Amino acid sequence: MLIFYTMAIAEALYNVHKKISSAALRSGRSADEIKLVAVSKTIGLEKIIQAMKAGASMLGENRVQDAKNKITELKAQRPDLKPEWHLIGNLQKNKAKTAVQLFDLIHSIDSASLAEDINRHASAVDKVQRVLVQVKLSDEVTKHGVSSDGVMELLEKVYDMDYLRLDGLMTIPPFFEDPEDTRPYFKWLRELFEKAKAKGMRLHELSMGMSNDFEVAIEEGATMVRVGTAIFGERNY
Ligand SMILES: *Cc1c(COP(=O)(O)O)cnc(C)c1O
């Protein structure tokens, strides 16, 4: 059993990397400009360790408490493995303090008040917290993120906070069977990113693209893709 999925995960990871390279080449970039966040939400530690042994170095979790358990457990079992932990899910203010303790990068800043809370907690422990602002480009009620109308104002506020380092933007577009249908959303996020840079903000990260559409996202400028199912298989919630 163990050997079966060890090979399956390593092979799946290899295939994802191949696709990343091809998509990077198609967009005139080099594959090492694109970071792969292996989305490990709901996935057990054994499989996560297999992925890390096969080269995964950034892990994405969507719940603070689940991440905390995994991080603690991984440290106990394998102190030699030191992944970067990314929070890719919605962050509630009452978890902001814990999130600052746990995560290298928080992808989901969607309001000035959340940013202020994180800034305050980061300041208290003298940490500069890397963050992305999450933008909501569709009107799905289930999705979080600042609207495209509010994004510049939020970016400027976050950019100026002393204990936050704003690296860039993130989005979760609506799901389409055909990834080509997602392309306009990726283009749109890229435009907002360029607009912010034109205002003088030094941003370098565009977190967009998941299992179904990461190649299209890379063609449109993604520097960070968040891939779960294509590495670990279907999740059973
Ligand atoms: C679950 C999740 C992913 C990964 O989705 P897959 O389709 O399994 O690759 C990426 N980003 C976010 C924000 C997620 O919640």
Q: What is the pTM of this model?
A: 0.96
Considering only 3-7, 82-86, 120-124, 139-143, which range has the smallest mean pLDDT?
A: 3-7
* Residue bearing the CA closest to ligand 1, atom 6: 228
Ligand 1 centre distance from Cα of residue 227 (Å): 6
Predicted confidence (pLDDT) at residue 201 exceeds the cutoff of 90: yes
Report DSSP state, residue 111: S
pLDDT digits (tens, 9 = 90+) for 140-185: 877 899 999 999 999 999 999 999 999 999 999 999 999 999 999 9
Q: 206 forms bridges with which residues in the sheet?
A: 169
Q: Residue 4's pLDDT band (boundaries 50, 70, 90)?
A: low
Residues 83-115: pLDDT tens digits?
999 999 999 999 999 999 999 999 999 999 999
Which residue from 210, 211, 214, 231 has its CB within 8 A of the most atoms of ligand 1, so it is best to mutate?
210
Signed CA dihedral, 211, 215, 218, 219: sign only:
negative
The amino acid that residue 118 corresponds to is I
SS3 category, 66: helix
Task: Tell me phi and psi for residue 210, to 5 degrees.
Answer: -125, -170
Report the separation in Å between the CA atom of 39 and the middle of ligand 1, taken as the mean of its atom positions: 6
User: Ligand 1 centroid to 108 CA: how many Å?
Assistant: 13
pLDDT in tens, 210-230: 999 999 999 999 999 999 999
* Cβ < 6 A, ligand 1 pocket: 39, 41, 62, 88-89, 172, 210-212, 226-230
pLDDT (tens digit per residue) in 20-65: 999 999 999 999 999 999 999 999 999 999 999 999 999 999 999 9
Q: What is the pLDDT of residue 172?
A: 97
Residue with tokens 């063609």: 219
Going by the DSSP 8-state scheme, the letter that residue 171 receives in this structure is: E
Taking Cα atoms as reference points, which of 169, 172, 165 lies closest to residue 152? 169
What's the average model confidence in pLDDT over 110-135?
98
Cα–Cα distance for residue pair 74/57, rounded to 1 Å = 13
pLDDT of 6 reads 59
CB 115 within 8 A of CB 140: no
Q: Which of 62, 86, 214 has most ligand 1 atoms within 8 Å of its beta carbon, as the pocket-test mutant?
A: 62
Query: Closest ligand 1 atom, CA of 230?
Result: 9
Tokens of 167: 């690296």
Please enumerate in sequence order all residues whose Cβ is within 8 A of that of 53, keeping only pairs 6 or more positions apart, or say none: 6, 10
Residue 39 CA: which ligand 1 atom is closest? 4
**Residue found by looking up tokens 């719940």 in the block:** 63
Phi first, then psi, for residue 18 (nearest 5°) are -60, -45
- Alpha helices, H only, 27-143: 45-53, 64-77, 96-102, 112-124
Q: Which atom, in ligand 1's list, is nearest to the CA of 41?
A: 1
Interval between CA 24 and ligand 1 midpoint (Å) = 20
The ligand 1 atom nearest the CA atom of 210: 9
Confidence of residue 7 (pLDDT cuts 50, 70, 90): low
The tokens for 226 are 């968040």
Residues 85 and 102: beta-carbon distance below 8 Å: yes
In 3D, which of 38, 90, 100 has the Cα closest to residue 68? 100
Whose CA is closest to atom 10 on ligand 1?
A: 226
